[in-house]
Amino acid sequence: KWWGKFHGWSLRLAPEYPLPIVYEDSFEALKWIAGHSDGSGPEPRLNRYADLGRVFIQGESAGANISQYVAVRAGAAGLTGVRIKGVLIVHPFFGGTEMDEMYKFMCPTSSRLDDDPRLNPAVDPDLPKMACEKVLVCVAEKDSLRNTGVKYYETLCGSEWEGKVELEEAKDEGHCFHAFSKNERAEQLIKKMVDFITKD
């Protein structure tokens, strides 16, 4: 079994707070964590216990999309105070599905889906600056979002980003199945994520 330190935060959500607020809030949260690097931040437990030289960002579904954005933004901004070792992109939503119309409603500032880097990382000029050393992309065979997750993996492989990326696919499973099932495939996925974090 594995033990780690986690920090999460509440986000302002649509429709009361339209996108892209949730993206900006998430990046601000990472900056807030980085503000503890000299041991004088507002959260004593982060000052005392957190190893900010070994940070992982993880998200599932829309959260995976946000996690990817935060890692790229951190690199493009030259964020200091944290060293992002890895990003876990689990069953990500990157557009290209029947949910695109809903995204247009939630994010009225997005002109077109294919040129919005939040939904199509391939058009993001800052993608090569992604501030992490490795990425784990997890997809599920029966997930309607599977193909966009695979496309994201292929985009990273073909980009100028210099980190390592791997793809993990769960057979015969659907979207975020591991959150609802305790079967062997769920255990295998969780073990894969733990190994990704604990092994260099």
Residues carrying an active site annotation = 61, 143, 175
Take residue 67 and report the two structure tokens written for it: 């996690």
Reduce the DSSP state of residue 56 to 3 states and report it.
strand
End-to-end CA distance of the chain: 17
What six digits make up the tokens of 56?
């992982």
Only one residue has tokens 């295998």, namely 188
Structure tokens at 175: 């979207």
| Measured CA distances, 151 to 93, 119, 167 (Å) | 11, 11, 11
Q: What are phi and psi of 166, to 5 degrees?
A: -135, 155
